Amino acid sequence: MLSPDEFSVGHIASARGLTLVLPVDHYDHLSLVTTVHAEPTAILLDDRDQFEAFGCQANTNYKGILIPDVRIELDETCVHDAAGRWAVPGMVVRRDDALFISTRTDRRPGSSQLVALQRGLVACEPSMAIGFTRWQIVIGDRHNKRTLKIIDLESKPN
């Protein structure tokens, strides 16, 4: 459950920081909006077009419950060397000074890009990267922490 001060309702263009967007009707999407880039980017998390990313700066097509300041937690038991391999869509990658998510582009199989979720972290060694196939989106901390969404790529059917 959410406290009234933990969310607002609006279009995805209104998202600030790292924001989880819960859909409010059939046409909306469960999505994660990051504003690390010059243009805010939405990443779809529901089954429809999962992990597709698109710029959403002026987007008033999708709306929802906006939950700002969410955090990403990574399952350290579901890791893969991502330095020299293609990151599958949905994999969260830690490299350089940032945390990225691999997203689909152009709705074509095999077409993906890394979208930054967080920057300014302690820098990894050059040419080193690790990918996580199980991660979750949380809000709050300590005894108030709640898991809002779990992504587990290893449990998905092929």
pLDDT tens-digit readout, 86-95: 789 999 999 9
Q: Which two tokens stand for residue 63?
A: 């709306």
**What are the residue boundaries of the structural domains of the chain, listed by start?**
4-67, 76-155
Predicted model pTM? 0.91
Bridge partners, 67 (sequence order):
20
83 confidence band (pLDDT: 50, 70, 90): confident
Chain-centroid distance of CA 30 in Å reads 10
112 confidence band (pLDDT: 50, 70, 90): confident
| Mean pLDDT score across all residues of the chain | 91
Q: Which of 106, 116, 103, 97 is nearest to 38 (CA)?
A: 116
Longest dimension (CA), the chain: 44
Residues in the chain: 158
